[in-house]
Amino acid sequence: SRVSVIRAGSYSEELVKTAKTIASPGRGILAIDESNATCGKRLASIGLDNTEANRQAYRQLLLTTPGLGQYISGSILFEETLYQSTTDGKKMVDCLREQNIVPGIKVDKGLVPLPGSNNESWCQGLDGLASRSAEYYSQGARFAKWRTVVSIPCGPSALAVKEAAWGLARYAAISQDNGLVPIVEPEILLDGDHSIDTTLEVAEKVWAEVFYYLAENNVMFEGILLKPSMVTPGADHKEKASPETVAKYTLTMLKRRVPPAVPGIMFLSGGQSEMEATLNLHAMNQSPNPWHVSFSYARALQNSVLKTWQGRPENAEAGQKALLERAKANSMAQLGKYSADGESDDAKKGMFVKGYTY
């Protein structure tokens, strides 16, 4: 019934439980769901070829990090990794489960130009999504991710926002129907010279529309997670915002748009430096929030690891240590107890690439 606390459906209770496990205190998500093209760019940055063996070696290093489960509650995988084993023949999914980390899966098929828009894009992947989701569930995935983007310099046009919101809502309903907690990710790109007030205005518009269509598609809010961008000025804006300002704007936006029924807000890092992403998260956790406010970082968790590893087996342990350090820093930030003392220069370097397309 529409008035029941939890909407009827075979997976409802499990969805709520999965979402709560992922949104558990002091933990967040390790996003390693780079498609092969994006993973290739990461590997190229340390001089490695984009082969299946190199992707396996890199993901194996990440997922077998001892102690990771203390700080990481979920990890988003690309399809290849979901079906992949380590070089010792152990399923990557089992490496996660052993550490009480929930395996997730990227289900979108990437971005393509949106005809009729202002050079904007839309996200592919709804065709066949129900059967793919059921198959991913049988492989051990318990949550899903769909990333679409909104560009401020390109408008955003009403058409692009509507398409982004509708696609996310259809995906979310299909995921829940197949036992996967959907991560709802409309990334508002950092590109542009706009002010933080402009970002706030666009973010409010986007999230209002996303929730309108999530409700229209009867998505159960207790069984979703959000992956928003933080509200910041555009990357080319003349002034940078302090973590306190980012936190104030971002929380204002979320409190205006996101019902407290949603269990977790898992931010993306969007090209911020590792330390900036951690400091901003820490600032957001200086007072109680209606939701678990945490991280789902890719670049802001992996950058130091890649630089330390360099593709050399003898550096694997040091690479894992680097991952654990970042995961711990963000865990502390989730608890509002992070201190930047002793952070390396590398952790302070931004990773934003103008006009970057995944």
Q: For residues 92-151, which are near ligand 5MM according to CB under 6 A?
A: 106, 110, 147
For residue 250, state whether it binds ligand 5MM (rule: CB under 6 A): no
The answer to whether the CB of 31 falls within 8 A of the CB of 296 is yes
Which stretch in 49-57, 132-140, 265-273, 318-326 sits in contact with ligand 5MM by CB under 6 A?
A: 265-273
For residue 70, state whether it binds ligand 5MM (rule: CB under 6 A): no
CA 63 remoteness from chain centre: 17
Active site residue 185: yes
For residue 213, state whether it binds ligand 5MM (rule: CB under 6 A): no
- 294 CB contacts (<8 Å, ≥6 apart)? 23, 27, 28, 29, 264, 265, 266, 267, 281, 330, 334
The answer to whether the CB of 72 falls within 8 A of the CB of 329 is no
Phi–psi pair at 243, nearest 5 degrees: -55, -35
For residue 269, state whether it binds ligand 5MM (rule: CB under 6 A): yes
Of 12 and 331, the one with the shorter C-beta distance to ligand 5MM is: 331
For residue 50, state whether it binds ligand 5MM (rule: CB under 6 A): no
Of 220 and 243, the one with the shorter C-beta distance to ligand 5MM is: 243
CA distances from 133 to 33, 79, 257, 328 (A): 16, 11, 28, 31
Of 69 and 350, the one with the shorter C-beta distance to ligand 5MM is: 350
Of 11 and 125, the one with the shorter C-beta distance to ligand 5MM is: 125
Give dist(CA 228, CA 193) in Å, integer: 20
Which stretch in 17-25, 114-122, 155-163, 268-276 sits in contact with ligand 5MM by CB under 6 A?
A: 268-276
Phi–psi pair at 177, nearest 5 degrees: -60, -20
For residue 264, state whether it binds ligand 5MM (rule: CB under 6 A): no
What mask, x for binding ligand 5MM by CB under 6 A, covers residues 176 to 205? -----------x------------------
Which residue in the list 79, 227, 274, 276 is annotated as catalytic? 227
Give dist(CA 323, CA 34) in Å, integer: 17
For residue 38, state whether it binds ligand 5MM (rule: CB under 6 A): yes
Q: How far is the CB of 300 from ligand 5MM (least distance, A)?
A: 5
The residues pairing with 187 across neighbouring beta strands, listed in sequence order, are: 149
Q: For residues 292-321, which are near ligand 5MM according to CB under 6 A?
A: 297-300
Q: How far is the CB of 317 from ligand 5MM (least distance, A)?
A: 23
Name the residue among 162, 153, 147, 155 with its Cα closest to residue 111: 147
CA distances from 128 to 124, 134, 139, 157, 163 (A): 11, 10, 17, 28, 18
Give the CA radius of gyration of the chain.
19
Q: How far is the CB of 9 from ligand 5MM (least distance, A)?
A: 27
For residue 31, state whether it binds ligand 5MM (rule: CB under 6 A): yes
Phi–psi pair at 295, nearest 5 degrees: -125, 150
Of 41 and 240, the one with the shorter C-beta distance to ligand 5MM is: 41
Phi–psi pair at 333, nearest 5 degrees: -65, -35
Position among 11, 22, 33, 254 found at the interface with ligand 5MM (CB under 6 A): 33
Which residues of this chain interact with ligand 5MM, rule CB under 6 A? Answer: 31, 33-35, 38, 106, 110, 147, 187, 268-270, 297-300, 358
Residues annotated catalytic, as ranges: 185, 227
